[in-house]
Amino acid sequence: MIVGTHLKPVANVYQNIVKFIVNNRQRSLRQTVFSLLHPTPHSYDINKYIDYVVIYAVLTSVVCIVLETVQSINSVWSLEFKTLDLITVIIFSTEYILRVYCCCEVSTYSGPFKGRIKYIFSIGSLIDLLAISPFYISLFANKSYDLRFLRIFRLTRLLKLTRYTGTLITLLKAVQREKYVLLAAAFMMILMIVLTASLGYLFEHDTQPDKFESIPTSMYWAVITLASVGYGDITPITPLGRLMTVIVSFVGIGIFAIPAGLMASSFTDQLRLDRKVFEDDVRKLVTSDQFTKEDRRNLELEAERLHLSKEVVDEIFARLDLEKGAANSNEITIGNVSIELTLEEYRKEINTLRRLALNEKAHLLTEQINDTSKTTQLERDIWKALS
């Protein structure tokens, strides 16, 4: 029993691989590769397995790069580190080539030549290229130049992880929404830094000419003071300088906290907006007569990008199914009168009667309602029920 439980994930992976092979047999090679690397209805979670491999390769590579800087560890594991670096570069290079090959499946990069050139210069592709370029540059130019400094640039492989989370996209949207407010806050911070550095230079230059040498030099002290860090390497010693430091420190708490509060609030609002848009998309598809399993799969993929749990998605679908069932109900009873109509028709007719009540005199309302040339049978039935 325990063995069967442990083997169940392996069996699921095997089943998904079989489904992927069978259902992509009639599709082109480029379409199949695209499904390997991107979430599509034809991926069957194979893209997730590849994502896991790339993520683990990134983390392994970064750990090795960090440990290489420890001389005692590097002297023992140097060969292993180089081997792991070679393996991860092969994985990243293969992924990069395949992404460039299949990018034409996206309408934004349509066209075998222009589309691929456009993709190569996209942010995601440049990050992938930056992750592998130090290895190849050092491989082919190591004999001519000392390129050991390129090793540290291998840490840019961490940026590859941004591809596998929608959080960065949400953050960028939040920044875009609040850019003008953030620019205003940045202007206030720059203004405070310049004023604080100028006052620090004015009060402390004569006493400490080596530390408050100029206003640009004083800006370092101004930043760490306004940010409430205060390293202590540069501190005022005059009474006016110390008084100003106390005041500036209190002001800095408020000024430097504004962007953080704005970003936290904007990020939360953006998450709520994205989820509201997702729910609206679900509502449009669920209430339509052409809602397919493929549509539901696409919605589930979008839910994963928004980090919505399966329980939340199921709750949205269940609530919308109830709304759809209520909207499709075609019998409403008012008083003792049963009327065949939808909720939308009911609201429309009630609004019509309300306008009649507002526009006509009370003693003419019944006559207006009974006039078959001005009202429908449905409106007369509703008025009878309400009366």
What pLDDT, in 10s, does the model give residues 207-246?
A: 888 888 888 888 888 888 887 776 777 788 888 888 888 8
Select the more confidently predicted residue: 349 or 60: 60
pLDDT band (50, 70, 90) for residue 362 = very low
Q: Which long-range contacts (CB under 8 A, 24 or more apart) does 8-15 make?
A: 13/49
Indicate whether 308 pLDDT > 70. no
Indicate whether 334 pLDDT > 50. no
Select the more confidently predicted residue: 46 or 377: 46
Question: Is the model's pTM score more than 0.75?
Answer: no
Both tokens assigned to 152: 């540290």
Least confident of 28-37, 87-96, 322-331: 322-331
Both tokens assigned to 100: 């460039």
Helix axes 46-68, 2-23, angle to 10 degrees: 110
Both tokens assigned to 363: 């003693």
State residue 330 phi and psi, 5-degree precision: -110, 20
Indicate whether 15 pLDDT > 50. yes
Q: Rounded distance, CA 138 to CA 89, Å?
A: 13
Radius of gyration of the chain (CA): 33
> What is the per-residue pLDDT for 336?
46
The DSSP H or E segment spanning 323 is helix 310-327
Are 196 and 227 in contact by the 8 Å Cβ rule? The answer is no
> Three-state DSSP class for 68?
helix
Least confident of 254-258, 267-271, 330-334: 330-334
Q: Burial, 12: exposed, middle or buried (Cβ in 10 Å; 0-12, 13-18, 19+)?
A: exposed
> What is the per-residue pLDDT for 343?
53
**Which domains does the chain show, CATH number per domain?**
2-164 (1.20.120.350), 165-328 (1.10.287.70), 332-386 (no CATH)
- Our CA angle for 298, 171, 40, nearest 5°, is 15
Mean pLDDT along residues 107-127 = 85
Q: Look up residue 209 and give its DSSP letter.
A: T
Q: What is the mean pLDDT of the chain?
A: 75
**Count H helices, E strands: the chain?**
16, 2
pLDDT band (50, 70, 90) for residue 349 = low
> What is the per-residue pLDDT for 378?
60
Q: Rounded distance, CA 307 to CA 165, Å?
A: 9
Q: Rounded distance, CA 125 to CA 169, Å?
A: 16
What amino acid is encoded at 331 in this protein? E
Indicate whether 67 pLDDT > 60. yes
Residue 356: left if φ>0, alpha if ψ -120 to 50, beta else—which one?
Answer: alpha
Place of tokens 């005199």: 361
Helical spans, DSSP H, in 24-105 = 29-37, 46-68, 71-102
Indicate whether 286 pLDDT > 80. no
pLDDT band (50, 70, 90) for residue 332 = very low
What amino acid is encoded at 59 in this protein? L
- Per-residue pLDDT of 160-169, as tens digits, reads 777 766 667 7
